[in-house]
A and B are shown apart, each in its own frame.
Chain A
């Protein structure tokens, strides 16, 4: 690309060409294939940003724990004996072994199988076998399980940060909290819970392609034509777009929420388990869904109820948390395993007071679209893997074209690439900063 310094010199380099005058936005494909870029991401993004750990509802009773990898780090997410939610590195302070090997459960203590050091579920070191071999000055109080530098929650969504100097989680989330609140407003008590059952699928593609894909409404008619066909076969009338600037039946928008967060905000056409009935849910569901909608109107007023029931949104919390509030509600997070591979984990989220029937409907609606056996996600995975395979030519075909909607004044459409550019601009600032 003429006029662009693509050398790996010591000065800051940019991975994007962002020419507002010409309405051109290009992404350097090296960002999607490079080991060096991944190293910069680990140090400047995953070690500096707030990263989603889990939801408080996954720890119902004192002593409940979940082990998982967060930003590549094995951690224990646990509710201690006093009910406090905590996060520890799953690493023995003695010689480094993981101290909890179960995926989930309830424990008062974590025992290291190697030399038998034992920790309470509040992280305190409780027992060192043969402690008479240590000098009197040996102090176990400083040898509890270590925690990430920061661990905070917003409405029971818990995040960790490896950088002690980071701003508070609330400040970091900023305007994104409005959209988290909108998702939670489905629940009369304001409490949502993660449901049993975890979906996991590896994708042989760069993790940032999942960020793009999670909010990219431009791809829906082509990548998901079999899903649209299924919807039509199930009695959902999907009208062709009426305005020529649209690719979906209804007008939807994309919003930059600051700090690299962004969301789509769409008028729903696909049904919502919270109170937008489609034939797929069955006639029997109608009375209950009408009642759910009435409760929303009573509690929230007509306008807010309409926002909850008749709009859907795919929200990205930078860098790697996606909340899809569409065919159902998903929490999705992903982490790179090399530049061309990621691990994806997804959960379903629902109101705590939901009836058995509504819960079953929510889960069924989830599977119509999402997950490794869903009617849409496998085709997303395929599309992302096709991108990664195509990128083998990156050095000779260097730039991805992401200018869609650049010339649009005012409102930005969900099917434009405005929100993807929001991500890439923020990402570029953090990575270019690393190399300057």
Chain B
């Protein structure tokens, strides 16, 4: 049976392409190049970190850690780059290790992909935090790269407590 004419043909996408994109994003975040990072987002991009005790709840009726629309992301970047964002001044040093990259779904030009991550975050006085989780992104294929339409971050700890603040872009 032929697909209806108004549905886009699914884009061709390889795991290596998605993996490269995850790596590129991670580098920008680790280097605090947040203005360049914002260029990876669609105009309607969202960024979510659900609470550890209700990972699948909706942000509309569940208290999240972070639930940003595109404008809130813009404001978040302004805030964390401001030297008066005390939680990130001096800036944390972060190092992201990304692995287990998988393409879950392709629908038209939208690609749902997941990756596991560890983000090591270092603050002054040798304080270390390890954020372990899974990224689930909805990516829009644009030419030979992607834009992020939805950026969802699941933290795997039972409780967020010892991770402290999520004051950087996770």
A-to-B contact residues, CB < 8 Å:
103-104, 195-204, 223, 225-227, 229-230, 233-234, 343-344, 347-348, 356, 359-360, 363-364, 366-367, 371-373, 375, 377-379, 381-383, 386, 389
Of the candidates B51, B60, B79, which one forms a contact with A226 in the assembled complex, judged by CB atoms under 8 Å apart? B79
* B160 located at the interface, meaning its Cβ lies under 8 Å from any Cβ of chain A in the complex: yes
B residues sitting closer than 8 Å to A (CB atoms) are: 49-54, 57, 59-67, 75-76, 78-79, 82, 84-88, 125, 127, 158-167
Instruction: Determine if A377 and B50 form an interchain contact, defined as CB atoms under 8 angstroms apart.
Output: no
| Nearest CB in chain B: distance from A202 CB, A | 5
**Which of A104, A204, A225, A373 is B65 in contact with, Cβ under 8 Å?**
A373
Asked if A371 and B86 sit within 8 Å, CB to CB, the answer is: no
Chain A nearest CB, measured from B106 CB (Å): 30
A-B contacts, 9 of them at CB < 8 A, read A197-B57, A201-B164, A226-B79, A229-B82, A363-B67, A371-B65, A373-B49, A379-B167, A381-B164
Taking CB atoms, residues of chain B closer than 8 Å to A198 are 51-54, 63
- Taken together as a complex, chains A and B put the C-alpha atoms of A229 and B82 apart, in Å, by 10
Out of A196, A227, A347, which one reaches B57, CB within 8 Å? A196
Interchain CB contact under 8 A, A196 and B167: no
Which of A203, A204, A356, A375 counts the most chain B CB atoms within 10 A? A375
Q: How far is the CA of A415 from the CA of B84 in the complex (A)?
A: 21
Whether B75 contacts A233 by the Cβ 8 Å rule is yes
Cα A372 to Cα B168 in complex, Å, equals: 10
A373: chain B residues at CB < 8 Å are 49, 64-66, 165-167
B74 to chain A, nearest CB (A): 9
Q: How far is the CB of A361 from chain B (nearest CB, A)?
A: 10
Q: A197-B62, A198-B51 are in contact. Are A379 and B57 (CB under 8 A)?
A: no
The 4 closest A-B pairs by CB, nearest first: A197-B63, A378-B87, A373-B66, A378-B165
Partner of A229, one of B49, B52, B66, B78: B78
Chain B residues near A200 (CB-CB < 8 A): 52, 159-161
- B165–A364 touching, CB < 8 Å: no
* A348/B63 in contact, CB under 8 A: yes
**Of A197, A203, A230, which contacts B54 at CB under 8 A?**
A197
Q: Tell me if A363 and B53 are in contact (CB < 8 A).
A: no
A347 to B67, CA, bound (A): 16
Distance A347 CA – B64 CA, assembled complex (angstroms) = 10
Q: Tell me the nearest residue of chain B to A196, going by C-beta.
A: B62
Cβ contact within 8 Å between A103 and B158:
yes
> A229-B79, A372-B165 given as contacts; is B63 within 8 A of A356 (CB)?
no
For B50, the closest partner residue in chain A by CB is A197
Cα A316 to Cα B62 with chains together (Å): 25
CB–CB B51/A223 < 8 A = no
* Extra pairs beyond A196-B57, A201-B164 (18, CB < 8 Å): A195-B62, A196-B63, A197-B62, A200-B160, A202-B164, A227-B79, A229-B78, A343-B161, A356-B61, A363-B67, A371-B63, A372-B65, A372-B167, A375-B76, A378-B85, A378-B86, A378-B166, A379-B85
Please give, as numbers and ranges, the residues of chain B lying within 8 Å of A364 by CB-CB distance: 67
Residues of B contacting A383 in the complex (Cβ-Cβ under 8 angstroms):
86
Instruction: Output the nearest chain B residue to A233 by Cβ-Cβ distance.
Output: B75
Quote the shortest CB–CB distance from A271 to chain B (angstroms). 15
- Within 8 Å by CB of B61, from A196, A225, A347, A371, lies A196
Q: Across the interface, name the chain A residue whose C-beta is closest to B162.
A: A202
Q: Are B79 and A359 in contact (CB under 8 A)?
A: no
Most chain B Cβ neighbours within 10 Å, of A197, A198, A375, A379: A197
